Amino acid sequence: MSLLQVKGLGKVYNTKLGMRQCVALKSVSFEVIEGEFVAIMGASGSGKTTLLNILASLDKPTTGDVLLDGTSFSSIPDRELSEFRRKHLGFVFQDFNLLDTFSIKDNILLPLVLMQMPVREMEERLLPIARQLGITQLLSKYPFEVSGGEKQRAAIARAVITDPRILLADEPTGALDSKASASLLGQLTDLHQIGKTIVMVTHSAMAASYASRVLFISDGALFSQLYRGDDNNRAFFDRIVANLSILGGGDIA
Amino acid sequence: MRKFFYFKLALSNVRRNKLTYLPYLIATAVMSGVFLLISGLLFSKGLTNTPSGDTARMLFAFGLVVYAVFTFFFMLYINNFLIKRRKKEFGLYGILGLDKRHVGRVLVWENTFVFGGGLVIGSLIALVFGRLLFLLLMKLIHSIPGSTFSIPLIAFGLMFALFFVIFLVTSVSNIIRVHTASPIALLSSEKSGEKDKKGLLPLALLGLILLGGAYYFAWTTEIPGIALGLFFPLAIAVIIATYLLFLCGSIVVLRLLRMKKSLYYQPDHFVTISGMFHRMRQNARGLATICILSTMLVVTVSGTLSLYLGSGEMMRSMYPYDAQVYVPETATTQQIVDFDATLNRIAAEHNVTLSADKTKLVRELPEGEEFRRNNFVWEDSEFVEVPTLIFYDEAFRLDIEGKTEDCLAFVQAVRDQFGQSFNENPNLIVADYYTAMEDGYGFYGGLLFLGAFFAVLFLAVAVLILYFKQVSEGYEDKERFEILQKVGMDDHQVKKTINSQVLWVFFLPLGATALHMLFASKLMAWMLKTFMLYDWGLVLTCIAGTLVAFTLLYFGIYRVTARTYYRIVRR
């Protein structure tokens, strides 16, 4: 049963003066099955961030539609969009987007507070997630007191604490060094193994090699896809790199 | 050649960073201009010559010292704010190979431009604006005739001294800042947060005790002389307490709120409380300064306004009769009767009617009645015995009916007439309410003018602080606003919490001002009694009126500066 259906997405931006149009996406379609870990790869300007923003309901497509559990995004009124996002989608951003005015704990609890959950239930949810991500010791600290990798783990905790249907990650390792990246990707794999559905946008083959399927985007269109099959990370990585060289873009690291 | 390089780099930096340097320049200009105007008033001859000028001078000197301290810290705050924003740039210089020493030199040059330009503009503002303001206010209030406006040299000297000190302190602190940090640290320092400080509770308690004590003394002192003496110590205590409570007390209260989980973890409170932490840490000093400035403004304006509006009553209590013409002890009955006739003739000439109790004026008694002199009054040209004891009047106590100009003319005519003809009694004195009122209006009008002048200066500074607050908050809230939306807070909720924070920040200084004024009102009323103003109701009305007018004005200023804020947030 497919969890996420993307049907013929197109996105056209008007330039500032409205004179020229810029096509970011042209008719992209794919499906994500429950429990999949999908990576979307492409060079800068290939349209992958636009795609993720549309999947995140932060942006609206010019043509086509996105369905989550059969619910069409275009059928949700603007007023209820934030609530929908809060309940069903979890986000991890490249630059963490943690609020400096909250402690790590409060940052993680933020979506639950917005959902008006009782305090006791919030804390019950927090502890196992913090333990899984190894940030139990950091809960009372503030974002500026911890490292980038720790911030990103806190951001993941915030994304999954609402138990979303799908976790969307936009270049989650973009601001991290290679060691912190590897550890973070390991954590995403763990989440995948306990059954979370993850869609991750990245330009790094290293990051993509942790996924179970990789979609390649070029010039706003779906170019090809690779399934991991029985490959280990290393073998999958080599296939991704080989595919990228055909595509003519992307970074190896 | 080399020297020119730093000079040029500094000049182009100032030009390139127009958006940040322009406000700095304006701040220097406004702060120095206002300082010049206040010190100019303090040392002007006009103030020295006015009656009770010493009291006014004392108040002005106090105001000047407080203002100088404000200026010092405010300029430091602005400098800090700007340097923090530019640390990244300094880091880049370091990486590009510019020595720290050289970066420091560039910074000193930049500072020189800003201070030099600011002081020149400030002096011009003070001279031009001061004169305009003076003329405008002279028109509005009928003030002491012949007042002129000039700024003595000593005021310029003081201003240069103060700003030179500020220049040195900011330059040295900038150099130290550049020297102690590594380029990497400078590059990333723009985004560091603030830690929870320790030891705030005792400071907050100290503030509370100071404020409570000051309020207690202000409320319970009931001796006018002591009230005047208490004013300055209490004012200083309230200023310190305000700063302590805004800086430390607010954080302590917010911490208490945060500890109460059932309250804190509510959608509205959650974001608002944490946002308030941030705002109070950033802006407590500015808000406390606004509170102090507005309290000073309300005290000055309402005090001078009370005196101006109450001057009629004050004069009445000093001159209970419209006019009194003193009669010498030695005057004979005939002289008094003649005098009475002359008074009535002059009154008729000036279209005024007189009424006076003349029965107790005549002291020559009927033959043989000397020993009972206190039982006779003079009525219808003869002595009448009355059963009560009489105190003889020394003066004609006149009530004058007629137009004010006529009354004044009548009094003048009496003065002219009897100055010459009552020749046996060269010391004839005419004391009258109308002339005193005229003088009083001049004097209290002058005071009100000074009050209004002060108010305009305070407002200028308040606008400046509010502007900086809005700009700095705008830049920070922009990011928070976006993150909250991404995490699933809807537009409406974000706006609601931002509005509630903005309102808190808006009402906090205003509320504190109102509270200060509530307790100051009684002390002020007692102080004004030394000026013979006994009408507490009037004082309260003036305070309330000034407070309302100030609130409206503050709100207006806030709306205008808030536009800057929303422009930054929405961009």
Residues of chain A with pLDDT under 50: 250, 253
Report if residue A66 sits inside a domain.
yes
Task: Establish if A101 touches chain B: CB-CB under 8 angstroms.
Answer: yes
Among A10, A6, A61, A49, residue whose Cα is nearest residue A30: A6
Is the pLDDT assigned to residue B368 strictly greater than 70? no
How far from each other are the two terminal CA atoms of chain B, in whole angstroms?
Answer: 42
pLDDT of residue B562: 76
Answer whether B69's CB lies under 8 Å from B171's CB: no
Handedness of CA B363, B366, B368, B371 (dihedral sign): negative
Determine the Cα–Cα distance for residues A185 and A171; give it in Å rounded to an integer: 11
The per-residue pLDDT for B215 is 93
- Cβ contact A116–B267 (<8 Å): yes
Q: Which of residues 359-388 of B touch A (CB under 8 A)?
A: none
Q: For chain B, give the number of residues.
A: 571
Q: Which residues contact A177 (CB under 8 A, 6 or more apart)?
A: A148, A149
One DSSP character per residue, B463-507 reads: HHHHHHHHHHHHHHHHHHHHHHHHHT--HHHHHHHHHHHHHHHHH
pLDDT digits (tens, 9 = 90+) for B199-231: 889 999 999 999 999 999 888 888 777 777 788
Q: Into how many domains does chain A fold?
A: 1
Closest Cα partner for B283 from B505, B442, B475? B505
Tell me, what's the pLDDT at B119? 93
Chain A touched by B259 (CB under 8 Å): no
pLDDT of residue B458: 79
What pLDDT does residue A101 have? Answer: 82
Closest CA relative to residue B441, chosen from B308, B322, B304, B530: B308
DSSP notation for B206-235:
HHHHHHHHHHHHHHH---HHHHHHHHHHHH
Local structure of A219: helix, strand or coil: coil
Q: Is B485 on the interface with A (CB under 8 A)?
A: yes
**pLDDT at residue B515 in the model:** 94
Most confident of B33-37, B87-91, B510-514, B560-564: B510-514
The C-alpha atoms of residue A133 and residue B144 are separated, in whole angstroms, by 78
More confident residue, B457 or B541: B541
Has residue A104 been placed in a domain? Answer: yes
**For residue A214, what are the domain limits?**
2-225
Helices (H), B97-223: 100-140, 153-180, 183-188, 200-220
Interface of A with B in 67-86 (CB under 8 A): 79, 81-83, 85-86
Q: Looking at residue B53, what is its pLDDT?
A: 58
Q: What is the pLDDT of residue B14?
A: 74
Beta-carbon pairs below 8 A across chains A and B: 69
For residue A253, tell me if it sits in a domain.
no
Do A114 and B489 make contact, defined as CB atoms within 8 angstroms?
yes
Residue A29 lies in a domain: yes
Q: Residue A215 falls within a domain, yes or no?
A: yes
List the structure tokens of B406: 């006529």
Q: Does B265 touch chain A (CB under 8 A)?
A: yes
User: Could you tell me which residue, B361 or B565, shows the higher pLDDT?
Assistant: B565
User: Which residues from chain B sit within 8 angstroms of residue A106, using beta carbons?
Assistant: 270, 274
More confident residue, B558 or B116: B116
Q: Does A245 touch chain B if contact means CB atoms closer than 8 Å?
A: no
| pLDDT in the model for residue B214 | 92
Sequence-distant (6+) residues with CB within 8 A of B297 are B454, B455, B458, B459, B550
CATH of the domain at A47: 3.40.50.300
Nearest by CB: B265 against A81, A122, A144: A122
CB contact A93 to B (< 8 Å): yes
pLDDT at B544 (0 to 100): 92
pLDDT category of residue B423 using cuts at 50, 70 and 90: very low
User: What integer best gives the mean pLDDT of chain B?
Assistant: 78
pLDDT confidence band for B87 (50 / 70 / 90): confident
From first CA to last CA, the distance across chain A in angstroms is 34
| Cβ contacts of B491 on chain A, cutoff 8 Å | 82
User: CA of A231 to nearest chain B CA: how many angstroms apart?
Assistant: 35
Answer whether residue B162 shows pLDDT above 90.
yes
Residue A95 forms part of a structural domain? yes
CA B281 to chain centre: 27
- Whether residue A163 is contained in a domain is answered as yes
How far apart are the CA of A51 and the nearest CA of chain B, in angstroms? 16
Share of chain B above pLDDT 90, in %: 14
Helix count and strand count (H, E) for chain B: 17, 6
pLDDT of residue B536 exceeding 50, the answer is yes
The confidence band for B408, taking pLDDT boundaries of 50, 70 and 90, is confident
Q: Where are the domains of chain B?
A: 1-189, 201-313+439-571, 329-427
CB A113 within 8 A of CB B265: yes
A198-202, B36-40, B300-304, B331-335: the lowest-pLDDT one = B331-335
Number of residues in chain A: 253
Per residue in B455-508, pLDDT tens?
887 787 777 777 777 777 777 788 787 788 777 777 777 778 777 887 888 888
CB contact under 8 A, B195 and A142: yes
Q: What pLDDT, on a 0 to 100 scale, did the predictor assign at position B142?
A: 55
pLDDT band of residue B378 (cuts 50, 70, 90) is low
> What is the arithmetic mean of pLDDT over B323-342?
72
Q: Round to whole Å and give the CA distance between B473 and B280.
A: 11
Test B193 with A143 for CB contact under 8 angstroms.
Answer: yes
Contact with chain A for residue B262, Cβ under 8 A: yes
- CB-CB: which of A85, A99, A116 is closest to B488? A85
Q: What is the pLDDT of residue B270?
A: 87
> A142 and B493: CB-CB below 8 Å?
no
**Nearest to B296, CA basis, from B486, B475, B22, B34:** B34
Q: Is B193–A100 a contact, with Cβ atoms under 8 angstroms apart?
A: yes
* A147–chain B Cβ distance below 8 A for any pair: no
Residue A46 belongs to a domain: yes
Q: Is A98 on the interface with B (CB under 8 A)?
A: yes
Among A58-62, A144-148, B331-335, B365-369, the range scoring the smallest mean pLDDT is B365-369
The DSSP letter of residue A204 is B
Pick the more confident residue, B56 or A44: A44
Residue type, A15: T
Instruction: Please determine, for residue B171, whether its predicted confidence score (pLDDT) is greater than 50.
Output: yes
